[in-house]
Amino acid sequence: MKYKVGIVMGSDSDLPVIEKATNTLSALGIEFEVHVYSAHRTPDEAAQYAQSAQERGIGVLIAAAGMAAHLAGAIAARTTLPVIGIPCKSSNLGGIEALLSTVQMPGGIPVATVAIDGGVNAALLAAQILALSDEELDKKLKAHRQAQYEGVLAKDKAIAERFN
């Protein structure tokens, strides 16, 4: 069975961060769905989404929110699916408040928190979880790593030719 990734953002103002994740998932051929549900503004819808995710074929959830970011934790409270939290940057505190709100979960309800605005790593981590039961996806991830490795070596070569 191919699992989907369920993506939730606290506001459509988080979309630029989410697009980093959707672009990465698309490049890997992973299906996903995207919603705006807020832990504070639409708490019932956020809870309902988390509660029903597993039975709808979702294998991993990604939750992105900024400011007093409770979304990932609120989602994680309602499911045993793995939840990846993305703290989003704000204009006033720069995202450090969202980082701490997302990462500092009490024991018993884990959220795997990536960097502030870390949409790419959230998608890659979701892919790595799904790849445990998907050999084809595992191969794509290994090819992605190899391409990244070769890309850095090519950059080193270009820089070395210029300066050394």
DSSP assigned state of 84: E
Q: Pattern of binders to ligand RP5 over 62-91, x per CB under 6 A?
A: ---xxx--------------------x---
Residue 39 CB, shortest distance to ligand RP5, in Å, is: 7
CA 38 to chain CA centroid, nearest Å:
16
Q: Which stretch binds ligand RP5 (CB under 6 A): 9-17, 47-55, 118-126, 128-136?
A: 9-17
The H or E element spanning position 87 is strand 83-88
Residue in this structure with the two tokens 């605005």, named with its chain if needed: 117
The identity of residue 145, as a single letter, is R
11 binds ligand RP5 (CB under 6 A): yes
Considering only 8-16, 18-26, 106-114, 119-127, which stretch makes contact with ligand RP5 by CB under 6 A?
8-16
- How far apart are CB 132 and ligand RP5 at their closest, in Å? 29
CA angle 81, 86, 87 (to 5 degrees): 135
| DSSP result, 113-146 | E--TT-HHHHHHHHHHHHGGG-HHHHHHHHHHHH
Among 3, 4, 8, 14, indicate the residue that binds ligand RP5 (CB under 6 A).
14
Give the binding-site size for ligand RP5 (rule: CB under 6 A): 9
**Helices assigned H by DSSP within the chain:** 15-27, 43-53, 71-76, 96-103, 119-130, 135-163
Q: Which is nearer to ligand RP5, 16 or 57 (CB)?
A: 16
Site for ligand RP5 in 90-149 (CB under 6 A): none
Q: How many CB atoms lie within 10 A of CB 23?
A: 13
Residues 25-64 that bind ligand RP5 (CB under 6 A): 38
**Shortest distance, position 107 Cβ to ligand RP5, whole Å:** 25
Residues that bind ligand RP5 (CB under 6 A): 10-11, 13-14, 38, 65-67, 88
